[in-house]
Structure 1
């Protein structure tokens, strides 16, 4: 008797029923084993396993999926404080980027490999190679610690650069990235409002009471909100950055309804920044907005922006208006750093570091300071002096040669970005790239006082946005006959720009 059609393989005629039964049986045995060995954790793992397998397949089929998953995963790092299981999210991100890189080769025929022949990729490659050479730094007290810090220093940026540059991304992918960033930031701001006005969850109280978190997040009886990010500094930097992006959209959008939406988002994000108590994040707004006005090359808007910003800064610097409000007072103290004991202590620590690093042009080795230094080489001088700055951390671990290369790379990215953006014709693309570039400059400046450039999710946003800006001309569109620009218009790819 013939097998029913739905049980037969079209090509071979073999019964699929037994294959499905066999696979189902194996899965049931696996679930039982995991639950018996790991309990509830095993049950969760069994449920997630098919999802993970499906995602791996999707990433291998299309590297764009890996890149967009990377963005979402970067925003979930701080959620680990809400679960009892120790989830190595950082290693998961490493694995995802490696899998996405593999997908580039699997789909190599449709990748745009010629984009690697660019100044942008050359800059990030020089920095990456330098950090790899740091592995043999003779001053390093514990070489395996190199792996933990090189990821934030250069590895992730290098991998993201490879993926973004060669993957045939579309304008829809850029829009998805921007919308993901705005939505995650909105959720983060709302969660911070819950912390500020309704209170902390039990898991957050446990986190606050562990280590030095209470010392840095409870100042004069006031909570520095951290939302679901790693800490208040990271949350404040991200809120300041996304405030700047939303504010730029207020200026750039033409429709009144869209302007109102972005104005509301600007206020929400700004108050999220304010309740974080992160003083240095103010410079993301100040420097980023000033850079945006320069990008505009519009004298009238430059004058309007200055007329709005300068009086506000003068009020904060030379008056006591609003000092009864804790958030306002924190912002005011950022503009008078020499009256801040913590800033003076930072300067004293930097003077101490000068003595150690005087004869170490290549630093003490990657992984010797901050958390990894305290974990693997706590006796070493690099682990005993807090850097309190991204650039000071780079200085300690890669020396004056390394920090000089890094700053030159950042300046190169900014210069290439300005050149690219000034060549654009498409209004939609211009306003997106204005936001990316202004936020990058603001965050880069803030790196002097906080290590946010090496922390999720800010690092992921910066890594992606800098590469998008560097190649933004590939999405530029030609004006139509009536002078308007539409997404359907063919992209202009000018060969004379490809060298950058």
Structure 2
């Protein structure tokens, strides 16, 4: 593939007629598009060469496709700013398939032996179960399977294979983490604009955001007259969980860094991104920090960090749990209520819904079929009870659509991947690599914990980052420097 493209490029390089004809054709095409579609046509003219360059780059070096896919996943929530029904998710699926095709075209450079990994086998096991769910006789509308299977297992399977076999370097891993942090800072700043824009002379919300709230988002994002910032993510729950997860990453980097200059940078990033979590009003996202940081302390197998962290963390939790200090600040009050779930009406409603579901699912061990609840269920089978009870949880949605059997399989897969990551982590000798893998593994654990209360594990960009990261820490020893 590379040799053929090289020969073709060399021929074009020394033939000026090709450039002349190509320029005329492109100019005519640009004129037609602009005349036909106006501004959108102009954007198409700009996007066409970019798209061709991306196509070639991904086919030549598939790991570029993984990086582009990760970046575009952060922008999928921004589709609300685009006019018309633009299927951004389908575009991401196309890019993923293109990256997979590039991997196959470059098969000779891929390390296929890495597929002999327990984590990959577990993902395939989950994929096989979800495929069987297509034939679930209790499914009210089987074609809806395709809408939820992507986030359930299909994307995870493609990304797992691509990430494992491609020649991803230590530098690529660090670039991915830094990109993640940069996107989170941008998202936090946009969340601050939504929350405090009027104080600095900016519009709090753009028209597209107001339209989204008016279309139904206000019911969950304006509580007691207070906006829950959602930035450019799908909703405040997704935004808050992402901010909490990246706050955890910055805390770990702060604790691992020896250079005081960089420690101050990580401290500043921690404060900015943590307040992004606070303005989201997503209370349950606190448990990303609690679960992930608790895992970080345990996995180090060192007593001193546990003592230091307990000396700082326990007083903070005690202040939040036993006092009302800071309640005048709405964001602090919202975080505090996460520690008193039995006093929260929305949590009690969730428990009531789960009791109703328990009665419905008592005789449905394989659930009502993938695509029968949540978004696809509301769209295709709104008359069915599975679409009428909001799951409010990733695990509850899995329970509805795949039954207690499917939920058990899924939790087994998650536990197996985490155990594989821990096994690989404890074999590492390189301190820098150990820190990077701790970051990925602990954030994964934190999101798994909070997914009990929010369906974020199947939403962009969280799903993308977790699916990529799960295969990175499950193959951590591939970057260990050999002596």
Structure 2 length-normalised TM: 0.94
1:321 alignment partner, SS class:
coil
Map 1:66-105 → 2, pairs under 5 A: 66-105=65-104
Displacement of 1:12 in angstroms is 8.0
Residues in 2 aligned to 1:425 and 1:86: alpha-carbon distance in whole angstroms: 50
Q: Partner of 2:138: helix, strand, or coil?
A: coil
Task: Work out whether 1:414 is the aligned partner of 2:413.
Answer: no
1:36-55 map, 5 Å:
36-55=35-54
Please give the alpha-carbon distance, in whole angstroms, between the structure 1 residues aligned to 2:301 and 2:271. 26
Q: What is aligned with 1:240?
A: 244
Query: 1:292-331 to 2 correspondence within 5 Å?
Result: 292-331=296-335
Q: CA deviation at 1:14?
A: 12
Task: Quote the offset at 1:33 in angstroms.
Answer: 3.3
Matched, 1:272 2:313: no
Contact 2:373 2:400 in 1 (8 A): yes
Using the alignment, how far apart are the partners of 1:140 and 1:23 within structure 2? 53
Specify whether residues 228 and 11 from structure 1 end up closer, same or farther in structure 2 by C-alpha distance, changes over 3 A only.
closer
Please state whether the residue corresponding to 1:23 is helix, strand or coil. helix
- Residue deviations 1:114-145 (CA, integer Å, cap 9, x gap): 11122111000000111111111111111221
**Equivalents in 1 of 2:79, 2:12: separation in Å?**
48
Other structure's SS at 2:134 match: helix
State the match for 2:120 in structure 1.
Answer: 121
Partners of 1:283 and 1:131 in 2: CA distance: 28
- CA change 1:84–1:14 in 2 (3 A) is closer
1:368 counterpart = 2:372: yes
Q: Pick closer, same or farther for the CA change 1:10–1:191 going to 2, 3 Å.
A: closer
Give the number of the structure whose alpha-carbon radius of gyration is greater.
Answer: 1
1:403 is the counterpart of 2:418: no
Q: CA deviation at 1:10?
A: 11
Q: How many angstroms does 1:87 deviate by?
A: 2.6
* Kept after mapping to 1: 8 A contact 2:240/2:282: yes
Specify which of 200, 206, 215 is matched with residue 201 of structure 1. Answer: 206
1:13 Cα deviation after fit: 11
Aligned to 1:343: 347
Deviation per residue, 1:334-373 (Å, 9 max, x gap): 1111111111100111111111111111110111111111
- Please list, as runs of the form range in 1=range in 2, the aligned pairs for 1:456-475 lying within 5 A after superposition: 456-475=460-479
After the TM superposition, which of the residue ranges 38-47 and 223-232 deviates more from structure 2? 38-47
1:251-308 alpha-carbon deviations (Å, 9 max, x no partner): 1111111111101111011100000000000000011111100011111211221222
For the residue of structure 2 that corresponds to 1:398, the secondary structure is helix
Distance 1:402 1:47 in 2: 46
Query: For residues 24 and 406 of structure 1, do their structure 2 counterparts lie closer, same or farther at Cα, with a shift above 3 Å needed?
Result: same
Q: Secondary structure at the match of 1:358?
A: helix
Q: Is the alpha carbon distance of 1:277 and 1:29 closer, same or farther for their aligned partners in structure 2, counting shifts above 3 Å? A: same
2:244–2:288 contact (8 Å) kept in structure 1:
yes
CA gap 1:13/1:21 in 2 versus in 1, 3 angstroms: closer
Where structure 2 has 5 or more consecutive residues not aligned to the other structure, the ranges are 1-7, 198-203
232, 257, 282: which one pairs with 1:228?
232
| Contact 2:12–2:18 (Cα < 8 Å) also in 1 | no
**What's the counterpart of residue 147 of structure 2?**
148
> In structure 2, what is the equivalent of residue 3 of structure 1?
none
Deviation by residue 1:224-269 (Cα, 9 ceiling, x = unmatched): 0111111100000000000001001111111111111101111011
What aligned pairs does 1:403-442 form with structure 2 within 5 A after superposition? 403-442=407-446
Helix, strand or coil: the match of 1:75?
Answer: helix
- Cα offset, 1:40, TM superposition: 2.2
In structure 2, the residue matched to 1:485 is none
2: CA distance between counterparts of 1:372 and 1:12? 50
1:214 aligns with 2:218: yes
Q: What is the alpha-carbon distance in structure 2 between the residues aligned to residue 73 and residue 275 of structure 1?
A: 24
CA distance in 2, matches of 1:267, 1:10: 49
- More displaced 10-residue stretch of structure 1: 214-223 or 235-244: 214-223
Cross-structure match for 1:60: 59
The verdict on how the C-alpha distance between 1:264 and 1:25 changes in structure 2, with shifts beyond 3 A counting, is: same
RMSD: 1.7
Measure the CA separation in 1 of the matches of 2:364 and 2:126: 18
